[in-house]
Amino acid sequence: MEATTLLNQVTWDTSFFERRATEVAADLIGAEFAVSGIGGIIVETEAYLPDDAASHSFSGATDRNRAMFGPPAHAYVYLSYGLHWCLNFVCLPGSAVLIRAIEPRWGIETMQARRGVREERLLCSGPGRLGQALAISRTQDGLPLSKEPFRLHLPARRPPISTGIRVGITRAVEHPWRFGLANSRFVSRKF
DNA sequence: CTATCGATTGTCT
DNA sequence: GACAATCGATAGA
C-alpha cells in the first residue's frame, strides 16, 4: 500500500480524540500530519490506555505525564532512553496514541539534514526517528494539535489496516494495540 | 537476515 | 540506584 494514493483528507474536531485510544489509533492511519510544514502520512500508531500497565499514565499523574491527563487533542511528548523525543496524541484522560511512523511527503530535505540520513525509508520509521525528523522536543509537550505548528487532516476513508502487539514494552505485552497501514514499507517493523 | 549491546539522561522507587 | 513506549553499530549465520 502506498499512502500517496490516499486522497480526500478531511478536518476534525476534538470529539475525534474523545474516544477509546485504540479506535483513535486505527483511525489515524492514513492521516496527513506535519510540524511546521515538515511531515507526511501517518502509517503506524500504538494505543496506550488507562489501567494499561504499559502506559506512562498507569501509576497516576506525574510531572512527566501531565499532558496525558490534560485535554484531548493535545500533544504528549516524552524522552525515551535519554535520547529520543517521542510524540503522542492525547485521547480520553490517561490515554494517548504514540505516533510511531510516517511516510515522508513534505520537507524531505529538511528531514534528511536533521537525521543525517538520506534514505527516505529511514527518516520517520520509528518514534525516535520521527521525533528527530520533525524536530520534536519538550517545547511541544501539551500543545494543541489544532494549531500551529501542527497540521492534521484525517483520511476520508479508512485504508487497509494491519494490527499487532506493541513494540518495546515489558508489561501488558499481549494486547494487539499497534496499528499500521497494510503493506507500507515505511513502518518501523513488519506486522 | 537475526542477535546483541552500548549510548545517555529524565523519571520514579 | 534501576530502568526505560529506541536506535545504530557490529558480529555472525
Q: Which of chain B's bases lie under 7 Å from a protein CB?
A: 7-13
With distances taken from each CA to the C1' atom of nucleotide C7, the closest residue turns out to be: A128
Q: Are A108 and A115 in contact (CB under 8 A)?
A: no
Q: Place A9 in a pLDDT band, splitting at 50, 70 and 90.
A: confident
Q: Which of chain C's bases lie under 7 Å from a protein CB?
A: 3-8
pLDDT in tens, A108-121: 999 999 999 999 99
> What is the residue-averaged pLDDT of chain A?
96
Long-range contacts of A121-126 (CB under 8 A, 24+ apart): A121/A185, A121/A186, A124/A40, A124/A186, A125/A44, A125/A101, A125/A186, A125/A187, A125/A188, A126/A100, A126/A101, A126/A188
Query: Which window residues (6-45, chain A) lie with Cβ within 7 Å of strand C?
Result: none
> What are the grid coordinates assigned to A20, written together?
477509546
In chain A, the percentage of residues whose pLDDT exceeds 90 is: 94
Q: Are A142 and A73 in contact (CB under 8 A)?
A: no
pLDDT of residue A5: 61
- Residues A139-164 have a mean pLDDT of 96
DSSP letter at A30? T
Q: How many CB atoms lie within 10 A of CB A139?
A: 11
Where do the structural domains in chain A lie, given as residue ranges? 3-181
Q: Place A60 in a pLDDT band, splitting at 50, 70 and 90.
A: very high
Q: Place A57 in a pLDDT band, splitting at 50, 70 and 90.
A: very high
pLDDT of residue A79: 98
Q: Does domain A3-181 have CATH number 3.40.1000.10?
A: no
Q: Are A154 and A26 in contact (CB under 8 A)?
A: no
Within a 13 Å sphere around the CA of A104, how many CA atoms are in the beta-carbon half?
23
